[in-house]
C-alpha cells in the first residue's frame, strides 16, 4: 500500500459535509498524533476542542480550506488553553500552526478594536457579532512544536 501524500488525500474525510464544530473535532484527532511525531506526549482531553500536550492544555481549531481562520467567541479561546494549535485541513498532509493562546487572543482583540475604531466604534453590519479573523501569515508559528517543550 502506498502511504504517500496522494494516498492520504484519497482517505481524507469529506470536510465540506461537516459543521464547523465537527471540523474542529476532526482537527483535534490530527493534532494529537502530530504532536507525538514531534516527540511530545499528547492526549485528547477535556471539552471537544482541547488536547493536552506534555501536560499543557491546547485548544485545537481546524479549517477546511485555505484563507483566514475564524473564531466566533469572546474570549476567542478556552480560558484553560495555554497554546492554540491551528490545523489547516485544506492541504494533504495537514499544516500545523502552534501559537501562544494569550498572545494570539490579544492580537485578535487589538485587531477587532482597530476595526471597530475605523467604523465608529462598532461592527458596521452586525454590531453584536463576535466573529473575528485570524491571519497566520507569519510563518514563525508553522510547525512550532517547541511551544510544548
Q: What would the pLDDT profile of 55-91 be if each residue is shown by its tens digit?
A: 999 999 988 876 677 887 777 888 889 999 999 988 7
- CA distance readout (Å), 27 to 62, 125, 135, 141: 5, 30, 18, 17
Q: What would the pLDDT profile of 102-141 be if each residue is shown by its tens digit?
A: 988 888 888 888 888 999 988 888 888 878 888 776 678 8
Q: In whole angstroms, what is the distance from residue 105 CA to residue 115 CA?
A: 15
| Residues 23 and 89 sit within 8 Å (Cβ to Cβ) | yes
| Residues 98 and 144 sit within 8 Å (Cβ to Cβ) | yes
Q: In whole angstroms, what is the distance from residue 93 CA to residue 30 CA?
A: 10
SS3 state at 51: strand
pTM: 0.82
More confident residue, 95 or 71: 95
Question: What is the mean predicted confidence (pLDDT) over 39-52?
Answer: 86
Amino acid at each position: 500500500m502506498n502511504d504517500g501524500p496522494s494516498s492520504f488525500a484519497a482517505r481524507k474525510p469529506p470536510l465540506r459535509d461537516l459543521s464547523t464544530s465537527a471540523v474542529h473535532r476532526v482537527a483535534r484527532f490530527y493534532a494529537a498524533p502530530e504532536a507525538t511525531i514531534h516527540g511530545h506526549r499528547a492526549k485528547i482531553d477535556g471539552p471537544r476542542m482541547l488536547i493536552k500536550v506534555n501536560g499543557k492544555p491546547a485548544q485545537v481549531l481546524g479549517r477546511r480550506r485555505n484563507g483566514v481562520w475564524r473564531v466566533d467567541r469572546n474570549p476567542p479561546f478556552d480560558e484553560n488553553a495555554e497554546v492554540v494549535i491551528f490545523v489547516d485541513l485544506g492541504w494533504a498532509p495537514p499544516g500545523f500552526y502552534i501559537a501562544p493562546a494569550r498572545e494570539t487572543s490579544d492580537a485578535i482583540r487589538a485587531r477587532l478594536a482597530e476595526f471597530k475604531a475605523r467604523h465608529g466604534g462598532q461592527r458596521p453590519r452586525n454590531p453584536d457579532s463576535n466573529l473575528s479573523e485570524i491571519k497566520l501569515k507569519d510563518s514563525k508559528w508553522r510547525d512550532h512544536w517547541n511551544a510544548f517543550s
